[in-house]
Amino acid sequence: MARPSIPAEIRRAVLVEAGHRCAIPRCGETELDVHHIVPWEACKNHEYSNLIALCPICHRRAHKGEIDRKALLQYKAALTAGSGPGMQANFEAPIVEIRRRIFERNTDVPGFTFQFDFPDFEGLVQRIVSKNVEAWGYELLADFRHHQETVMPVKEEGNPDTESFYKVPSSLRGSYQIIRNDDVVISLEYTLDRFFTGSAHGGRNTRVQNFLISPFQPITARDLLAENSSLGDLSELVRSRLLSNRQYSENWVIKGTEPKGDNFSNFVLEKNGVQFIFDEYQIDSYAAGRQKLWIGYDQFAGIGNHSLFSKLAGNDF
């Protein structure tokens, strides 16, 4: 079986933790790999606690044993404790009231406005969460700039068709809702409102950010499942719950809940259950808007990660 790629949320967290520099003290290189401290062949997973950012040279030294596993664990512990380079850098985005904002306006043609808000949490681990969300915001900005530079057609001076086309600039606005913030987990629901110049209407997407606090760990859909369970099991559970509600078309639901990671990437974590979020066109029409499905931790029927759910629910699970 081919080795799966490291989830984007976990890779980002590892790089942010190290300040996008090699985790070996006094190395400082910025060209980075993500290394498994316990080799992939032995662990067969991409746990955040087992991953560390290394430059290609230090990565090769680690594989040769010149930097041994015990040393790597010590470097990882220093990063996790906040004494590594990842926690030394200041935020780039200025603070706006109780949150921070990444803002950019481009008055060229085609022009655009980008605004992305994110929470500025207090506490050592919580600030790691804030820095991860900030890094994601800058990824969105880079993608948005790239779209403007490569997809938008060039304006033709004096052409009335293109003059009309560029009347309204592109925009992207990211706003969030804190679903849960305690000593166990931080769960954020993001709404991304996009409009591209020349479009008939805008679009709205949901994205989420979920982090376990201790030990710090980005939470993906795969983390919700027991070791012997699969996305196919999750797909069957979600489908059965959705189809019990007669408002949904079976064809829509089957297509939108195929056992693919993207279909289940949007979820938030509440005290006693998981809220799955489905954007327009996923399980219903655009006019129906976003749809949500809540499943209690005790309703995962043997396929759920009991250890994680116990931690999330506390004594109530």
pLDDT tens track for 8-40: 999 999 999 999 999 998 898 999 999 999 998
pTM of the model: 0.81
The pLDDT, as a whole number, for residue 270 is 95
Q: Where are the domains positioned within the chain?
A: 8-87, 95-218, 221-316
Average pLDDT along the chain = 88
Is the pLDDT confidence value at 83 over 50?
A: no
137 pLDDT band, cuts 50/70/90, is: very high
Q: What is the pLDDT of residues 219-277, one digit of tens each?
A: 999 999 999 999 999 999 999 999 997 788 899 999 999 999 899 999 999 999 999 99
Is the pLDDT confidence value at 209 over 90?
A: yes
Is the pLDDT confidence value at 190 over 80?
A: yes
136-140, 214-218, 297-301, 312-316: which has the highest mean pLDDT? 136-140
The pLDDT, as a whole number, for residue 97 is 57
The CATH class for the domain spanning 95-218 reads alpha beta
Other beta carbons within 10 Å of 224: 24
Is the pLDDT confidence value at 161 over 70?
A: no
The pLDDT, as a whole number, for residue 316 is 60
Which tokens go with 304?
């759920």
Residue bearing the bigger pLDDT, 93 or 75: 75
Q: At the topology level of CATH, where does 221-316 sit?
A: Actin; Chain A, domain 4 (3.90.640)
The pLDDT, as a whole number, for residue 167 is 72
Q: What is the pLDDT of residues 53-70, one digit of tens each?
A: 999 999 999 999 999 999
